[in-house]
Structure 1
Amino acid sequence: MGATGIDFEAVFRALPGAVALLSKDLVFAEANEAYLRLSGRTREEVLGRYLFDVFPDNPDDPAASGMRNLHASLCRVAASGEADSMALQRYDVEDPDRPGTWEERYWSPVNVPVFGPDGSVALVLHRVEEVTELIRARGTRSGGERARVLEAELYTRARELQELNQRLRDAHAREREVALHLQEAMLPEPDPLGHHSAAVRYRPATGSLNVCGDWYDLFDLPGRRYTAVAVGDVVGHGLRAAGVMGQLRSALSAASRVAAGPAQALEVLGLYARFVKGAESTTAVSVFIDWSGHTLTYSSAGHPPPVLCAPDGTVTFLDLATDPPLGARPEHVTRPQSRAGFTEGSTLVLYTDGLVERRHEDIDIGLRRLADSVVRHRAADPESLADALLTDLVPPAGITDDTALVVLRL
């Protein structure tokens, strides 16, 4: 049973559509009753076996291409993490009761990635719909030639759809590239902070449009003994998110220079965000560092808590002043603010949720992973520590959301 109380295994088995789950090596991990019934195979004949050992191409048809086309689609989904709706396929199936006898069948397959906890492709969901009867019915009314013409028409339409999808992907890729250049221009390296060292990082999502909504900011407050540091995350992606990010980053930077503290700066940002389309539900956290008083004053608008690591490895999450994201309340409410002391040589880490959140995983697991990594590398300088955190926390397949990261040695 899942966290919702739903037995998803029972749901999978009861699905009326024919669905199978394959490993990345194209070995059957599971198949529902509709798939077994449609393919004419038992569970024992399928599970644990290579797909194309169970369903090879017709050796008597040298033009058969169903296996080759399906193999290419499944491998592409496993490698790219993107779904693929295939064109209509003729894929003959051997009669299990009459070896060597092949039935002409027509299929419409859809292959979809299933991601594991680390964000990489763990399984491929293979769904098939059989349209053999439709092809045969057309052929009966108008002759075999009509069936072949219909097959060609369906194939052509499917190819046109695939080409349209490719053009859309190309357009998205161009938008992603422009948005990333804009993001880079708006997130320059911070100015030096006296004798205090700091490192910043921005990592876009891998092969995804979930980019350009995250920001960081870090600067000394003029005429005071404080440094302000902030990170934020705009809901959305692409050029629009990059534009909203730039407006909110500038607004928070300006507010922090005149506000009495981080809570007041976030209040001003929240009021401003009401007039910026696309700014609703943005999260942000702001920390004012008092170097002489050795205190951190912080406030959060729905953002994951900063990490404070003492030289001895004691970790504190700054989570005592968390309020809803920007625009979540219809009326203006004073935001909370809290303080934490620090000892010289401590490390402060601010980040966005792309660093710690993973599909189908409680965020507390990601936070513990972050804390363990900070403790393990706490003796490193901020530049080395920032690189180590990304190495430890970014899965091999890359992140599915962009990530901003700030590391300061206090």
Structure 2
Amino acid sequence: MTVSEIDYEAVFQALPGAVALFTTDLVYADVNEAFLSIMGRTRDQVVGRHLSDAFPDDPGNPASTGMRKLRDSLRWVAATGERDAMTLHRYDVEYPDRPGVWEERYWSPINVPVFGPDGRVALLLHRDEDITELIRTRSGRGRGGRVTALEAKLYTQARELQEVNERLRQAHACEREIALSLQQAMLPAHEPLRHHRAAARYQPAAEGLNVCGDWYDLIDLPGDRIAAAVGDVVGHGLAAAGVMGQLHSALSAASRVSRGPAQALDVLGVFARSVDGAESSTAALAIIDCTNHTIAYSSAGHLPPALLRPDGVVDFLDQATDPPLGARPEHAPRPQAETTFSEGATLVLYTDGLIECRREDIDAGLARLADSLTRHQGADPETLADALLIDLIPPAGTTDDIALVILRL
């Protein structure tokens, strides 16, 4: 039998364990027969319904949070594209023929992403193992109170893993909040530029820890010039926020005194060598001369800025791209290129969280960005910024943070 002849629907239904498929909005897309049997439900009572509607937590028991924890795990998998094993998990199930009567149940769930052709999470695979009998046996409520040494060990390990997992989640949540607060404090306040309209956005990763490495800057320079920059630090959390703050400040200062973007990035590259954690960080800097209608730009391993021209054509400024900061064993001057623009053009700088998708070529993401820019051509910077975020970010959120700068020239 060839792969094309395999009936995967039949395989799914024949799986001995309880398995369910969710959409990224946490609606049941399908369940197998083992799932219906173990949960005591019919297909019509589950498929097409939201998780919280099909299996709510016991409203009469404030300590009942099993379904909320499962919901949080599924959202995390959808946002990060990573699997999540929840270890020991209590979720009480309401008897379908006895409303208001709940049975204490224990599970060992695992949630796995299923990727679509575009590299984004398309479905969530949820597998449940009912370990209620093991827990009851351990507590003396099953099989006459008998319990083997192996069962006792497995139970103890499961409880310990659950406690460690919960502590890690709490610690990560605390670190995320501190890092985001630090990030917001270090990013520049958005102030109007001379005779120009601009918009800037920072959006953290959804329900994950890949936050606080991205930054942006907009600076008025002498001679009717403007500097626009974005950067991305490898890593996340407090460490990345600290590195981000140092690189952002250094480039902001260098932009004010350098002859052009290449020299400013040269200075930043030298500085980055003295900062732990700054290796392989990326940055792009553009200096707009509003009198001569030119844009000088340079990139240290960063994605190319996009220039939306008044006729709707999008040009990616990719003629001065160099390796990331600290990537070369020896220092070398960075390249610089220049292009012209007409009044009414729009310059867009961004970080990779805006366009990158897992298992997808970067050109596909750049094409999506260009298409969105063309469709919203003529929108003011604030409206365009919101439109790009809506068009390019999946419904479940992005797994990386995003910095975005838009400048109407």
The Cα shift of 1:151 comes to 2.7
Within a 5 Å distance, the mapping from 1:1-150 to structure 2 comes to: 22-24=20-22, 49-53=32-36, 77-81=73-77, 83-87=84-88, 110-116=110-116, 117=118, 119-120=120-121, 122-124=123-125, 126=127, 147=147, 150=150
The structure having more radius of gyration, on CA atoms, is 1
SS in 2 for 1:53: helix
Partners of 2:144 and 2:19 lie apart in 1 by: 35
- What is the SS of the residue equivalent to 1:147? coil
Instruction: Determine the C-alpha separation between the residues in 2 that align with 1:381 and 1:108.
Output: 51
Gaps in structure 2 of 5+ consecutive residues: 1-10, 41-54, 58-65, 78-82, 91-105, 134-142
1:257 matched residue in structure 2: 256
What per-residue deviation string (whole Å, max 9, x for no partner) do you get for residues 154-185 of structure 1?
22331221121111111111111011111111
Structure 2 contact 297–320 (Cα < 8 Å) conserved:
yes
8 Å CA contact 1:78, 1:121 repeated in 2: no
> Is 1:198–1:407's contact at 8 Å kept on the other side of the alignment?
yes
Paired position in structure 2 for 1:377: 376
Q: Which residue of 2 aligns with 1:387?
A: 386
Which residue is equivalent to 1:182? 182
Partner of 2:169: 169
| C-alpha separation in 2, matches of 1:177 and 1:266 | 31
The one-character-per-residue Cα deviations of 1:323-372 (angstroms, maximum 9, x if unpaired) are 11001110011111111110000000000000000112222111111111
Q: From the superposition, tell whether residues 205 and 54 of structure 1 become closer, same or farther in structure 2 (CA, over 3 Å).
A: same
Could you give the per-residue CA deviations for residues 100-138 of structure 1, whole angstroms, max 9, x where no partner exists?
xxxxxx9966443345447446132649799x9xxxxxx
**Cα drift, residue 381 of structure 1:** 1.1
Unaligned regions of 5+ residues in structure 1, if any? Answer: 1-12, 29-47, 58-66, 90-105, 133-142
The residue type equivalent to 1:208 in the other structure is G
Q: Structure 1 length normalisation: TM-score? A: 0.75
Change (3 A) 1:127 1:335: farther
For 2:302 and 2:212, how far apart are their aligned partners in 1? Answer: 17
Distance 1:204 1:76 in 2: 17
- Checking the alignment, whether the CA contact within 8 Å between 2:76 and 2:208 is kept in structure 1 is no
Please tell me whether the aligned partners of residues 19 and 126 of structure 1 are also in contact (alpha carbons under 8 angstroms).
yes
The size of the alignment, in residue pairs, is 346
Q: Deviations over 1:187-225 (max 9, x none)?
A: 132332211111101000010110000010111123x23
Indicate the SS of the match to 1:311. coil
Query: Sequence identity, in percent?
Result: 60
Which amino acid is 2:392 matched to? L
CA contact (8 A) 1:191 1:219 kept: no
Alignment-derived partner of residue 205 in structure 1: 205
Name the stretch that deviates more: 241-250 or 372-381.
372-381
- Distance between the aligned counterparts of 1:27 and 1:225, measured in 2? 56
> After superposition, what is the alpha-carbon deviation per residue over 1:76-119, rounded to whole angstroms, capped at 9, x for unaligned?
54344261243399xxxxxxxxxxxxxxxx99664433454474
Partner of 1:357: 356
Please name the residue that 1:279 is paired with: 278
Partner of 1:333: 332
- Superposed, 1:233-248 pairs within 5 Å as 233-248=232-247
Let me know the Cα RMSD of the aligned residues: 3.6
Contact 1:225 1:291 in 2 (8 A): yes
- Aligned residue in 2 for 1:99: none
